[in-house]
Structure 1
Amino acid sequence: MRAKLTPALVGRGLLYTFLGAWFAVSTVKQEPTRRLEWYRKFDPGGLLLPEWRFFAPHPGTHDNNVLYRDELADGELTPWKEITSAVPRKFRHIFWLPEHRVDKVIFDLAAEVSNTILDGKLESPEDIQLSLPYLFLLNHVTHNHPHDPRAIRTQFLIARSAGWDESEEPLIVFYSNLHPIKRTTVRPGVKVPT
């Protein structure tokens, strides 16, 4: 005896067919050599089909570290300080750690500057100073980190390290030029945001 074809049964069959096809195409999309690109015409923006190969085929093997120092009025340079907002981890950080966003942005900007320099894509070494990643890093260093009160200029560097692997020496990828630090003068009675 055959089951009666009801709208609910047809709907369930269509849903299962759609989900099965979606799973199959999503699985094919994970093919490591990326030779199969036919699915792009169905999902050109990559919104419907998930990407499970987060870092493949080129996983990150190095950290990009940003350090800065100041030049004092007498020409003396202060020691390098690393830019980091590392905080002691707490259980809640498994679910909520908005401070990590700043670190991620700085890491990505440093990686962009490093890759541009290491790939040799610049006509002139000074061209990097006109790039948005450089300008964002300079703005961050100048305005979001403490400077010596006697400082007149600041400079940053980008170094590439192997992270926890201390057997590999860090590689200094880039030194910025020295840039003036603008001091804001505050009129009496004006509250300065902190």
Structure 2
Amino acid sequence: MTLPDGALLGALTIVFTLWLLASIPNQFRWEWWDNTARRDVLALLPRWTFFAPRPGRHDLHILIRDWSAGSPGQWRELERRPPAPWLRAFWNPDRFVRKTVTDTGNALIRAAARPEAGSSTSIQLHAAYLEILGWVVAAPPPVQDTSPGDARQFVLVRTQTARPGRRLDVAFISFEHPRL
């Protein structure tokens, strides 16, 4: 059964109108809307932060390297697979990954800057350190390597822009962790 052109246009208009109307309250932190937003398992409702009180001015990246026989390998970024640029305007689940990396990484950087974090044991037991370490250890070895290294290390790097040749600021360097 096919729909007449007018019915299809009407149905699409209703769907996109409802989507726009549901997106508006999602921009605010209203308690009554939070229950509805939690049911958005497909992440279809956007939350824009163009005019945040303190907008982000840098990006945080996780770089990892493997150690083999006591010598370090090359740094490489922990891989993420963002959708195609034309699709990101409509569907961008990677934004949750970027947000998690930013929040967890910043929590680790703040924890490492505290005076009581002087002990290597205390920072390695911090929840943010353990969460990032879990991602790092689970990452596959580089494609060109046939065998994983003996240990793995990560670094948190801040960047101002996404263009090549950008300035990288090292914010945190982890210890080497043996591979299991």
TM range (shorter): 0.5 to 0.7
**1:71, CA displacement in angstroms?**
0.6
Contact 2:83-2:92 within 8 A present in 1 as well: no
- Counterpart for residue 54 of structure 2: 58
Once the two structures are superposed, residues 116-166 of structure 1 have per-residue CA deviations (whole angstroms, 9 ceiling, x without a partner) of 334x35342422211111101101010133254141100000111212477
CA distance, structure 2, for counterparts of residue 90 and residue 84 of structure 1:
17
SS at match of 1:57: coil
2:132 — aligned with what? Answer: 137
SS in 1 for 2:157: strand
The separation in 2 between residues aligned to 1:121 and 1:54, in whole angstroms, is: 34
Give the distance between the partners of 1:67 and 1:92, measured in 2 at CA.
26
**2:69 corresponds to 1:78:** no
Pick from 92, 110, 113 the counterpart of residue 115 of structure 1.
110
Task: Name the stretch that deviates more: 125-134 or 151-160.
Answer: 125-134
The change in CA–CA distance for 1:90 and 1:60 in structure 2 (over 3 A counts) is: closer
Report how far residue 49 of structure 1 moved. Answer: 9.1
Q: Is the 8 A contact 1:84 1:103 kept in 2?
A: no
Give the deviation of 1:176 after TM superposition: 0.5
- 1-side partners of 2:67 and 2:57: how far apart? 33
> Quick one: structure 1 residues 114 and 166, their matched pair in 2 at CA, closer, same or farther if it must change by over 3 Å?
farther
Q: Does 1:124 align with 2:113?
A: no
TM-score (norm 1): 0.58
Give the structure 2 partner of residue 6 of structure 1: none
Please identify which structure carries the higher helix content.
2
Deviation at 1:90, TM superposition (A): 4.8
Cα distance in 2 for partners of 1:139, 1:107 equals: 16
Contiguous gaps of at least 5 residues in structure 2: 1-27, 35-47
Paired residues for 1:91-110 under 5 Å: 91-110=86-105
Higher Cα Rg, which structure: 1
* Number of corresponding residues: 138
Backbone CA RMSD of aligned residues: 3.4
CA contact (8 A) 2:61 2:77 kept: yes
Structure 1's unaligned 5+ residue stretches are 1-29, 31-44, 183-194
1:69 to 2:65 alignment: yes
